[in-house]
Amino acid sequence: MLRICLICLFSLFFLNSSFLFANEGTEYTKSGLLTFRLPTSNGGIAELTEKPKHSAIVVCFLGAECPLARLYGPKLNQMQADYQTQGVRFIGVNSNQQDSLEDVQKYVKRYEIQFPVAKDYGNEVADQFKAVRTPEVFVLDKSLKIRYRGRIDNQYLPGISRAETTSHDLKNALDQLLAGEMIKVASTEPNGCFIGRVKKTTGKTKLTFCKEVAGVLNRHCVECHRKGEIAPFGLTEYDEVRGWAETMLETIEDGRMPPWHASPKYGKYANTRYMSEADKDILRDWVAGGMPFGDVKDLPQLPKFQDGWHLPQVPKTVYQMRKRPFIVPKEGVVEYQYFVVDPGFKEDKWVTGAQVLPGNRSVVHHAIVFIRPPDGSDFRGIGWLTAYVPGQRVSMLPPGRARRVPAGSKLVFQMHYTPTGSVEEDISKVGLLFGEEKDITHEVFTLVGIDQEFEIPPHAKDFPVSAKVRRIPPKAELLAIAPHMHLRGKSFRLFMKQKGDSQILLDVPNYDFNWQHIYELSQPMKLDTVDELKFTVKFDNSEENPFNPDPNEYVTWGDQTWEEMAIAFFEIAEPRFTKQKMKKPEKKKVNSELERKQRVEKFVAEFIQRFDKNKDGHVDVDEMPLSTKRFGFRNLDHNDDGRLQRKEIESAAR
């Protein structure tokens, strides 16, 4: 009880301090120098005086919810510790109108920031420094002259996390300043979120948040930009929207939001995200006109969303990837993690709906659940069951369609984690909905078109790679298409060939790795007359690609983001009973079985000859190429012993 009372007293002290300083405003010296006095998150004062006692001062503009400010918080913390003995002082400044002092306190606590972080009410310090984004840093010398301004380094961009830093901009500036040398690079462009300034405008508009703007956001944004969802900040409250207005408009203007990348010229898709020019104009004009609130009576109700499960009903059958949490480090690269779950299915199951529910959305970049059937099973496709990827909407399979999970199958979770600046935990799970076998007319499975043998040369701006689906099942339907590349992925185009003519089925002119769309067709498309499904992807390995980890590298296949992939997944539905109508003479069946057996034996022999480097008769995981080692080895290695025996290779060949 005493502890609770003390917490309340401290909270009141912080709140009173914030109101005190908010009313007083930011204090500057009359000399016009870059001096200030601000309240800090711990109830103290951060003061930059006219004659500082330090050799250098680093003023860091930060935001409580900006993803890059979160990632760089620990980095700045470490730099402060490294340079403290050399007389360098770090001061954090939060100038966002949408971030309260309490938000600043949470940020400092979560990322264990050791230097003072102050609240800049009215963004007066940001205006004095002409700061634009978070994070953005300024290096001042003893006379308070700005010697460097811009980014911290080049490791992180919006949605991008490079494995290594190749340009240590802030560190270089500090080292050169402390050594008395000229700073070679005195200015760089900061990357991150716009500072949420209190907008000063003389413009006028009749548009209000309540009457027009909230409706636009409800239609296009709050699906993700609300508490507990994937977006880093909410757009349901007026104060939040005002603070994020400039960043919101920037992402809309450059096509990042709403997240949809298919050209409207080709194909019709059930899950299209599209914001009309009229809705964009509402947001533009409202921001330019000063962002008035309006009459609360005009405020529409928020759409109703299901928290967690997005399936039509809450699944009763749920499996966790494992019982104890997986620990995600605060930084670095986390290799793909695999978790095998035995659901204990004693009979075949027909899955009509499935969803991966991340335990911690902030660190789960994507998750795929595969079906690993028992040896000798009659099984189609690559074993894809369901996935969680950024931007994907969850939907049921069309009526009469379902995936078959053979009795005795195991479920394999493939987890890709991305650190966020603080140590996190995750236990993800999958929920399944089943249908009755008698009601299932089509079996759904996933086919792939894939090329793993490419090599992208350094500085190639428009490097093409093509692949196709090897076999299109007769009488099948196409339900959905999912292209997949990494950071150098530039575009994707799928061609459908019919009777010698080729036409574009899907065009993604500006592919974005951060949004792994599954393009669901409005209606299943029959493939009876389709002779070929072929796609061409293009990669940009040039310096002009802002997401490129290193334009000087030769790039080959691999699962990590600085490597590349050229894949398209195709959701196929095939009628279950057509095979019964196609009876063949017994002799042909025997011949077909003999041919199949010979084909399998040839595949196994070639596979072992190619990969069995130590000639011991089986293939160890370390003998496999990186792509198969990470992406598919666990699905082939049925007994999890780290090696592929002849029987396991035979099973894959079937």
Token couple for 561: 């983001």
The predicted-structure confidence for 92-142, as pLDDT tens digits, reads as follows 999 999 998 899 999 999 999 999 999 998 899 999 999 999 999 999 999
Mean pLDDT, residues 226-249 taken together: 87
Is the distance from CB of 379 to CB of 324 less than 8 angstroms?
Answer: no
Amino acid identity, residue 429? Answer: K
Quote the DSSP letter at residue 212.
Answer: I
Q: With 70 as the cut, is the pLDDT of residue 586 above it?
A: no
Q: With 60 as the cut, is the pLDDT of residue 425 above it?
A: yes
Spatial distance between the Cα atoms of 44 and 22, rounded to a whole number of angstroms: 14
CATH architecture assignment, domain 36-194: 3-Layer(aba) Sandwich (3.40)
Is the distance from CB of 110 to CB of 37 less than 8 angstroms?
Answer: no
pLDDT band at 259 (very low <50, low <70, confident <90, very high): confident
Mean pLDDT, residues 65-84 taken together: 94
Q: With 60 as the cut, is the pLDDT of residue 587 above it?
A: no
Q: How many residues does the chain have?
A: 654
**Which of 524, 537, 539, 513 lies closest to 570 in space, CA to CA?**
524
In the chain, CATH 1.10.238.10 sits at: 593-653
Amino acid identity, residue 116? Answer: P
Spatial distance between the Cα atoms of 339 and 642, rounded to a whole number of angstroms: 14
Q: What is the mean pLDDT of the chain?
A: 85
Spatial distance between the Cα atoms of 366 and 358, rounded to a whole number of angstroms: 9
pLDDT band at 633 (very low <50, low <70, confident <90, very high): low
**Which of 355, 337, 360 lies closest to 412 in space, CA to CA?**
337
Is the distance from CB of 430 to CB of 319 less than 8 angstroms?
Answer: yes
356, with CB counted inside 10 A (0-12, 13-18, 19+), is buried
Cα dihedral 64, 69, 74, 80, rounded to 10, equals -100
H/E run at residue 580:
helix 578-581
Q: With 90 as the cut, is the pLDDT of residue 580 above it?
A: no
- The confidence score (pLDDT) of residue 12 equals 32
Say what the pTM is: 0.67
Token couple for 83: 């340079």
Q: With 90 as the cut, is the pLDDT of residue 15 above it?
A: no
Amino acid identity, residue 383? Answer: G
Coil, strand, or helix at residue 279? helix
Lowest mean pLDDT among 345-349, 414-418, 504-508: 414-418
Q: With 60 as the cut, is the pLDDT of residue 474 above it?
A: yes
CATH T-level assignment (fold) for domain 441-579: Jelly Rolls (2.60.120)
Spatial distance between the Cα atoms of 442 and 399, rounded to a whole number of angstroms: 9
Highest mean pLDDT, choosing among 2-11, 80-89, 364-373, 618-627: 80-89
Look-up of token digits 């007389």: 87
Sign of torsion, CA 48 95 75 106?
Answer: positive
Is the distance from CB of 446 to CB of 465 less than 8 angstroms?
Answer: no
Cα dihedral 357, 360, 363, 368, rounded to 10, equals -20
**Which of 283, 244, 310 lies closest to 97 in space, CA to CA?**
244
Q: With 70 as the cut, is the pLDDT of residue 652 above it?
A: no
- The confidence score (pLDDT) of residue 13 equals 29
- The confidence score (pLDDT) of residue 201 equals 67
- Contacts of residue 426, Cβ cutoff 8 Å, sequence gap at least 6: 325, 326, 328, 358, 359, 360, 363, 364, 415, 417
The predicted-structure confidence for 322-379, as pLDDT tens digits, reads as follows 999 999 998 877 888 999 999 999 999 999 999 999 999 888 988 999 999 998 888 8
Cα separation of the two ends of the chain = 67
The predicted-structure confidence for 179-227, as pLDDT tens digits, reads as follows 999 999 999 999 999 999 987 766 689 999 999 999 999 999 998 898 8
Lowest mean pLDDT among 34-43, 389-398, 629-638: 629-638
Q: With 60 as the cut, is the pLDDT of residue 236 above it?
A: yes
Mean pLDDT, residues 606-618 taken together: 75
Spatial distance between the Cα atoms of 359 and 470, rounded to a whole number of angstroms: 37
In the chain, CATH 2.60.120.310 sits at: 309-436
- 396 vs 354 pLDDT, higher one: 354
What class does CATH assign to 593-653? mainly alpha
In the chain, CATH 3.40.30.10 sits at: 36-194
Q: Percent of the chain, pLDDT > 90? A: 57
H/E run at residue 134:
strand 133-134
> Which residues face 534 on adjacent strands?
468, 495
- The confidence score (pLDDT) of residue 549 equals 82
- The confidence score (pLDDT) of residue 461 equals 96
Distances (CA, A) of 37 to 63, 116, 415: 19, 12, 46
Quote the DSSP letter at residue 123.
Answer: G
Mean pLDDT, residues 38-49 taken together: 91
Q: Strands 56-61 and 88-94: what pairing?
A: parallel
Is the distance from CB of 137 to CB of 58 less than 8 angstroms?
Answer: yes
**Which of 592, 508, 77 lies closest to 330 in space, CA to CA?**
77
In the chain, CATH 2.60.120.230 sits at: 441-579
- The confidence score (pLDDT) of residue 503 equals 93
What class does CATH assign to 309-436? mainly beta
- 151 vs 499 pLDDT, higher one: 151
φ, ψ for residue 123, nearest 5 deg: 45, 40
- The confidence score (pLDDT) of residue 517 equals 85
Q: Strands 501-508 and 489-498: what pairing?
A: antiparallel
- 622 vs 275 pLDDT, higher one: 275
- 325 vs 26 pLDDT, higher one: 325
Q: With 80 as the cut, is the pLDDT of residue 650 above it?
A: no
Q: With 90 as the cut, is the pLDDT of residue 82 above it?
A: yes
Q: With 50 as the cut, is the pLDDT of residue 499 above it?
A: yes
Amino acid identity, residue 462? Answer: D
